[in-house]
Amino acid sequence: MRWSSLVLTPLVGVLALGVGGATLGAEWEACLQPASPEYYQFAMVPTGRVPGTGNARGTADVWFPHTPFGVAVSPDGSYRYEFRLRFERLRLPRQGSFVVWVTTTDLDQVEAVGELTDPAAFEGEVGWNKFLVVVTHEDAFDPEAATWQGPVVIRGMSRSGMMHTMAGHGPFEQEKCSSYGYE
């Protein structure tokens, strides 16, 4: 629903009433539920490789962290996002852990974000323009792990991943992909 912020903003505001001082109270911050622009939401899709997770569904909400400028970017200009995962029909494993990772679309950079302990609410951050969110089944959560070892349970790609080369497509149908480094 496009106007999710219409629902959430009044709640935030009601909670804000009477709050004094410039610093938001911790209890107020805890009540803030940022409304992700729906356009940038993306689906989390199961691989079916992990027993009992094939019917799972999920959504990744994406929004900018607070910034004085209205749009959050790093010094190199990459967008900075916060994301929230919400899963349905995803049961946590009896053994081992579900671990959330973010990775670039060509998998050359991987970061462990955290252990998924609540399928209804998991929040993390990512600082890439195009990225994947991957949930894997690991023996244990290791924040120092370079990448995952276990099977992928469910994964999704940022909306920006839909930005794809036009070479060989649409109005550029006659352009040879190979001319632009694509095989």
Partner 1 sequence: MSDVAGVGWWGEKPSPSLAWGRRLAASWASTLGAALVLGLGVGAAPAAGQQMDHAGHRMPMAEGAWRMPPMDPNMPMLPGLEMALPPVAPFLAAAGIDISTLPEARPSEVVEMAGGDTLDVDVSIVRRTLNGHEMAMYGYNGQYPGPLIQAPQGSTVVVRVTNRIESPTTVHWHGVRLDNAFDGVPGLTQAPIEVGETFVYDVKVPDAGMFWYHPHVREDVQQDLGLYGNLLVTPPDPEYFGPAHREEVLVLDDILMDEAGAIPWGEEAPTHALMGRFGTVMLVNGETDHGLDVRPGEVVRFYMTNVANTRTFNVTFGEARVKLVGSDVGRYERETWVQSVVIAPAERYVVDVQFPEEGPVVIANSIQAVNHFRGEFYPHVDTLAVVTVGGDPAEGSTADGYEDLRENAAVVAELDPLRAHAGREPEYTLETTVRVNGLPLPIVVSMEIDTLYVPPMEWNDAMPMMNWLSTGDQVTWILREAGTGRENGDIAWTFDEGDLVKIRVFNDPDSFHPMNHPIHVHGQRFVVLARDGMANDNLVWKDTAIVPVGSTMDILVEMSNPGDWMLHCHIAEHLHAGMMFDFTVRPAP
* Residue closer to partner 1 (CB basis): 21 or 51: 21
CB of 7 to partner 1, least distance (A): 8
Bridge partners (DSSP) listed for residue 101: 112, 134
x-or-dash pattern for partner 1, window 6-45, by CB under 8 A?
A: x-xxxxxxxxxxxxxxxxx-------xxxxxxxxx-----
* Residue closer to partner 1 (CB basis): 63 or 141: 63
Which of 55, 67, 149, 178 touches partner 1 (CB under 8 A)? 67
CB of 64 to partner 1, least distance (A): 7
Bridge partners (DSSP) listed for residue 85: 60, 122
* Residue closer to partner 1 (CB basis): 47 or 78: 78
CA distance 16 to 19: 5
User: For residue 149, which of 93, 110, 106, 104 has the smallest C-alpha distance?
Assistant: 110
CA distance 102 to 157: 10
CA distance 138 to 136: 6
User: For residue 116, which of 79, 159, 146, 155 has the smallest C-alpha distance?
Assistant: 155
x-or-dash pattern for partner 1, window 157-176, by CB under 8 A?
A: --xxxxxxxxx-xxxx-xx-
Catalog residues that contact partner 1 under the rule CB under 8 A. Answer: 2-6, 8-24, 32-40, 63-64, 66-71, 73-79, 129-130, 159-167, 169-172, 174-175, 180
